[in-house]
Amino acid sequence: MRQIFLDTETTGLYPAQGHRIIEIAAVEMMNRRPTSNHYHVYLNPEREIDPAAQEVHGITLEFLQDKPLFDAIAQDFIAFIRDAELIIHNAPFDMGFLNSELGRIGLQPIETMCGRITDTLKMAKDSRPGQRNNLDALCRHFGIDNSKRTLHGALLDAELLAEVYMAMTRGQDSLMMDLGQTQQMATNQFATNGVRTLKIIKADEAELALHEEYVKSLAKAGAKLW
């Protein structure tokens, strides 16, 4: 199973107001094991960055001036995430921006490119109702070191999200492993003791004769045979 942990940074909060993505990071995991593969890029938004947003991520427009536009990296990004499960904290936010960028260049929504989209914020709210469930709070809850997270950065946040997700789903994973082991044991048991491995031993003539005499004696005694 291929999973991609994804995060973005943006110029502001609302793509409908013309705000753009300025950073994308995606970290790959295969069968719940991190790989060395990741995708990371900064983008030129061709517009100003809101001061409040810049305070969160610390990325300046001057830094982004020589970075590529989204359409220049779109195909590489799509190739990296295609058919994987996307795991995002507060997925509607990032999905809204990604689909806005894809729509600008005439491409289909990201939902059509991925096998599944999982929102870890929704997962956290379901399991921890009434509590703070931002990434920092979840790192504290699960004992994950986020001391390097002085500012929001897409790559670090994607890596931390992968650790948080593993902690959130560890019990479920164990259950699935147990179920898988049970199913495998049942399969092995069937292969060992199933119908296909039964050995048929036919009665010999002496045993058939004894059986016939036994049936006759039952009939004489008035027993119902069937």
Can you give the pLDDT at residue 149?
Answer: 79
Give the residue extent of every domain in the chain: 2-168, 177-220
Q: Which helix (H) or strand (E) holds 167?
A: helix 154-168
Comparison of pLDDT for 78 and 148, the residue scoring more: 78
Quick check: 93 and 124 in contact, CB under 8 A? no
pLDDT digits (tens, 9 = 90+) for 75-115: 999 999 999 999 999 999 999 999 999 999 999 999 999 98
Can you give the pLDDT at residue 216?
Answer: 63
Question: How many Å apart are CA 58 and CA 148, to the nearest integer?
Answer: 14
The catalytic residues are 152
Give the 3-state secondary structure percentages of the chain, helix then strand then coil, rounded to 5.
50, 15, 30
Average pLDDT over residues 120-124: 97
CATH of 2-168, one of 3.30.565.10, 3.40.225.10, 3.30.230.10, 3.30.420.10: 3.30.420.10
Question: How many Å apart are CA 41 and CA 155, to the nearest integer?
Answer: 9
Residue 153: pLDDT band (50, 70, 90) is confident
- Grouping H, G, I as helix, E, B as strand and the rest as coil, residue 154 is helix
Task: Quote the percentage of the chain above a pLDDT of 70.
Answer: 75
CA atoms 120, 25, 170, 177: torsion sign: positive
